Amino acid sequence: MFGHLTAMPSDPILGLLTSYRNDNNPNKVDLGVGVYKDELGHTAVLNCVKKAELHRNNTEDSKVYIGPTGSPLFNTEMTKLIFGAEHKVLLENRTRTISTPGGTCALRVAADFIQTCKTGATIWVSNPTWANHTGLFEGAGLQVKVYPYYDYENKTLDFDGMLNALKAVSRDDVVLLHACCHNPSGMDLTNEQWQQVVEVTKDVGFTPLIDMAYQGFGAGLNEDAYGLRLMADAVQEMIVCSSCSKNFGLYRERIGACTVIAQTSSAADISLSVLLHGVRIIYSMPPAHGAAIVETILSSDELRNEWYDELKIMRDRINGNRQVLVDKLIENGVTRDFSFIARQSGMFSFLGITPEQVQQLQDEFSVYMVGSSRMSIAGIAQSNVDYLAKAIAKVL
């Protein structure tokens, strides 16, 4: 049975990680993997998480399944975090949230839900988008198409192209939108642009699927949810996939959520039953530990406030790294305009150099980034930014 198989191509980011680990250059810089790192290059456990875990260890009295929906408290607290406690979709009881093994599985559950609603439905994703989106959706049987988003030449948002494409989308289609911290471009919609996208969504009638993997990493928890909440105000049906990997630093715990908004409370109940049917087939029951940590933090005034403070430290460091890199490039005589990096948000940005220059950075300077020149801003630190800027200047 296995004899005819051929090896699949390795994931380029995971391949970069292996090359980086095997590199003996003491000045090596890892800008490939999209994981938050502190100034020492370490992804530490948040203090609020340690306290929540201690509480969990002291109070947990069973390892029995928690059920396919996951923890009710986690689902409630996540819904409030996503929409705000007083949003009308909560007051109207039109939302249903389930916990999932990470944001990736939330997207797969959403894809299966869409496939049940309409076999072979078309879902539109931005150009570019997170590399795994296409595989997730196609694996569920959906047809994937792209709409313009990032203008590579001018290092900005191709908003006119995006809006015109969305106006031509079929009413029966689904459109994936990034809530904030667009992966991989770092280029987000402004509030005014979100308002226009919401109007087009209402006029055309397609179903929005909003991926929010980085809430709190852009401008703030509420600011980053602006477009999502505006959309939920305006449409009858919507899907949201969220992740706790980044903003809680719970990467290996694999905890996320999938939320469906329906036209009525009874329709939401039916949607939930369809979601859970898919869950039963894919993974049956979600893990409990990560959800317990998050719900403990969000339901405690003390721990929640400590989380706000720690999240702000991460957010400010990433945003600060953007400006520092721009300044250091200027100091090293680079005349090309890289100011766009400071205007973006979140973990990622395209440096905008050629694949050959990306390879040269790796070969000659041990600076690792994806071939598209997508770089993880969190990999920049005070200890390496001078070396990084000099390397980029020499390559240019």
Is 124 noted as a catalytic residue in this protein?
no
User: What gap in Å lies between CA 312 and CA 305, rounded to an integer?
Assistant: 11
Strand-strand pairing, 156-157 and 150-151: antiparallel
User: What gap in Å lies between CA 137 and CA 391, rounded to an integer?
Assistant: 38
Q: Which of 37, 155, 246, 328 is catalytic?
A: 246
Is 130 noted as a catalytic residue in this protein?
yes
CA dist 342 → 195, 264, 297, 350 (Å):
24, 43, 32, 12
Q: Which of 188, 211, 307, 328 is catalytic?
A: 211
Q: Look at residues 30, 56, 64, 25 and name the one whose alpha carbon lies nearest to residue 293.
A: 56
Long-range contacts at 327-331 (CB < 8 A, ≥ 24 apart)? 328/385, 328/386, 328/388, 328/389, 329/389, 329/392, 329/393, 331/389
- Which amino acid type is present at position 239? I
Quick check: helix, strand or coil at residue 294? helix
Strands (E), 12-159: 29-30, 95-100, 122-127, 143-148, 150-151, 156-157
DSSP string, 351-396: ----HHHHHHHHHHH-EE--TT-EEEGGG--TTTHHHHHHHHHHH-
CB 387 within 8 A of CB 29: yes
User: What gap in Å lies between CA 191 and CA 225, rounded to an integer?
Assistant: 10
Q: Which of 130, 158, 188, 194 is catalytic?
A: 130
Quick check: helix, strand or coil at residue 96? strand
CA dist 91 → 83, 269, 370 (Å):
11, 15, 44
If you search the block for the tokens 């944001």, which residue do you land on?
A: 103
Q: Which two tokens stand for residue 145?
A: 């198409």
- As a whole number of angstroms, the longest Cα–Cα distance in the chain is 63
Q: Look at residues 77, 65, 79 and name the one whose alpha carbon lies nearest to residue 268.
A: 79
Is 316 noted as a catalytic residue in this protein?
no
Residues designated catalytic: 130, 211, 246
